[in-house]
Structure 1
Amino acid sequence: MFDRILVALDSSEQSDYVIQCVLQIKLQPSATIVLCHVIELSESNLEQPADLPFVDPELGQFRHIEKALQAYQAELPCQSELEIVTGDPTEEIIRLANIHHADLIVLGSRGLTGVNRILKGSVSSQVVSDASCPVLVVKL
């Protein structure tokens, strides 16, 4: 049923739970899972002087994320790809789902409520609202 699944992960413990939920989906041998992680752009990167060489302080973070995604990738029973991108999480998840023609998006929910949800926003709620395919939101 689902040939291409985009799984959006972050660096939290919840990623383990999201992967366990993905593994419970009955996958066809021909299915492809795209594991993605979105690194939010920090304002400090935007304020970098244009005339100085750019040294990416998040390069170590990128390698750490890549290794974590590769570890999850090893658990998957089908073909998989990795995507690590920077930007707004909601926009990038939707963009990647469109690029990869995802049949399903799987992501976790931070479980924010009240003022935190209003101030920080809910990535999962926005993805559910904007996605052109089904979305599975995994809550702890």
Structure 2
Amino acid sequence: MTYQKILVALDKSPAGKLVFEQALDLAKKDNAKLMLFHSLPLEYQSVGSYTDLYGQNLANFSQSMHQQLEKESESTRQWLSEFGDRATNEGVATEWDWRIGDAGRCIRELASSWGADLIVVGRRGRQGLSEMFLGSVSNHVVHHASCSVLVVQGID
């Protein structure tokens, strides 16, 4: 089977580079296009609390969230651009995108709207309680995507 449009779901774990390499090899073999994608989770724990008796911390919380998001967005743009440049230099037509939110849902929606015929995603190997509480993006994608999914076993 050959693929024309491969969505590559990347995270910043050590396995992310392995996922990229697998997808790049497939894209070169099939002369396919790549869409590199990263989902930014909304993590507000690191910016403090917005609750207090009179709501005075809400403005500070909002400003902290905005600053954190700006910092993460710029870092993500640069990171994805580096992967994109490498793929382009190796002759693969490449786009990249990032979104804020639940990774599994974002991957599924982008695959559908972009018309991907393959999603390449990593798996960290969580099992049992850690998978139940932390979730499994790869599991969600495998069970809900409308196209084929290649799961690359992680190294961490």
Q: What TM-score bracket applies, with the shorter chain setting the length? A: 0.7 to 0.9
Q: Report the CA distance shift for 1:125/1:49 in structure 2 as closer, same or farther (over 3 A).
A: same
Structure 2 length-normalised TM = 0.79
* SS of residue matched to 1:57: helix
Which residue among 86, 92, 115 is the counterpart of 1:78?
92
Contact kept? 2:104, 2:140, Cα under 8 Å: yes
Can you list the C-alpha shifts for 1:67-111, whole angstroms capped at 9, x where unaligned?
111111122131111111001111100000011010100010111
Counterpart in the other structure of 1:134: 148
Q: What is the rounded CA distance, in whole Å, between the counterparts of 1:27 and 1:59 in structure 2?
A: 36
**Residue ranges of structure 1 left out of the alignment (5+ in a row):** none
Counterpart in the other structure of 2:53: none
Deviates more, 1:84-93 or 1:57-66: 57-66
Contact kept? 1:11, 1:65, Cα under 8 Å: no
**Residue ranges of structure 2 left out of the alignment (5+ in a row):** 51-56
* SS of residue matched to 1:56: helix
Q: CA deviation at 1:53?
A: 6.8
User: Map of 1:95-110 to 2, 5 A cutoff?
Assistant: 95-110=109-124
Q: What is the rounded CA distance, in whole Å, between the counterparts of 1:12 and 1:110 in structure 2?
A: 9
Aligned length in residues: 137
Matched, 1:125 2:139: yes
Can you list the C-alpha shifts for 1:20-69, whole angstroms capped at 9, x where unaligned?
111221121xx321100001123569x6948x975332211111111111
User: What letter is aligned with 1:9?
Assistant: L
Counterpart in the other structure of 1:19: 20
* SS of residue matched to 1:83: strand
Q: Report the CA distance shift for 1:49/1:113 in structure 2 as closer, same or farther (over 3 A).
A: same
Which structure has the bigger radius of gyration? Answer: 2
Structure 1 length-normalised TM = 0.87
Counterpart in the other structure of 1:4: 5
Q: Report the CA distance shift for 1:59/1:36 in structure 2 as closer, same or farther (over 3 A).
A: same
Q: What is the rounded CA distance, in whole Å, between the counterparts of 2:24 and 2:14 in structure 1?
A: 16
